């Protein structure tokens, strides 16, 4: 068996990044790479991917319930109304990533999403999804960015979004199922 897949306790071969962590295994099996739609869900994913920049995803995954709580379930309308008192409240919450720039970006991005038509964020993000491709043979074959993630990033930045760089947007494309990067041999690979 390739070192890029790992046999789990249930006998299923998975992408090796899952390791032996139950939360990662659940995330891998039930979320990562599955098509995600809806402005609110994609706003949450965009926000969490922005908070992840420079950190490990498992850190964000473990803090996700608290993120959802303090960011009002990532409802763009509610988050868009956050003010300085909310920023200060969030800066003191050890249950999330206390990075002022990322918090301000999330609030600013919520304002942009709020001002979009229903379904516009979903349509915009999915417009950059590349055609399906074969499962990568190894993690070494998985890019950090693609022309599509760079184009998505550029368009979002043009519209005023922040913490949406090409690498972050490729991670969103992976986690939101716009691309399927489960490696060959993984039970979830296409």
Residues marked active site are found at 27, 49, 57
Residue 53 is assigned to a ligand binding site: no
DSSP calls for 92-147:
T-TTS---HHHHHHHHHHHHHHHTSPTTHHHHHHHTTPPPP-PPPSSGGGS-S--H
Token digits for 60? 């964000």
Cα distance between residue 65 and residue 155, in whole Å: 30
Does 63 carry a binding-site annotation?
A: no
Residue 37 annotated as binding site: no
182 annotated as ligand-binding = yes
* Residue 106 near residue 164, CB atoms below 8 Å: no
What residues form the annotated binding site? 15, 28, 182, 186
Bind-site residues for Zn(2+): 15, 28, 182, 186
């Amino acid at each position: 068996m390739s070192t890029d897949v790992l046999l789990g306790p249930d006998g299923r071969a998975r992408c090796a990044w899952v390791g032996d962590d139950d939360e990662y295994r659940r995330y891998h099996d039930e979320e990562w790479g599955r098509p995600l739609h809806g402005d609110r869900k994609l706003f949450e994913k965009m926000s969490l991917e922005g908070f992840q920049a420079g950190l490990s995803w498992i850190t964000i995954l473990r803090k996700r319930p608290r993120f959802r709580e303090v960011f009002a379930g990532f409802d763009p309308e509610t988050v868009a109304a956050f003010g300085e008192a909310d920023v200060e409240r969030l800066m003191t919450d050890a249950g999330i990533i206390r990075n002022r720039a990322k918090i301000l970006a999330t609030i600013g991005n919520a304002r942009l999403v709020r001002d979009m038509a229903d379904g516009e964020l979903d349509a915009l993000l999915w417009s950059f999804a590349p055609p399906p491709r074969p499962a990568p043979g190894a993690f070494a074959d998985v890019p950090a960015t693609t022309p599509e993630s760079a184009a998505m990033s550029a368009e979002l930045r043009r519209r005023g979004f922040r913490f949406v760089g090409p690498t972050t947007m490729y991670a969103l494309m992976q986690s939101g199922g716009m691309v399927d990067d489960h490696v060959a041999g993984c039970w979830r690979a296409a």
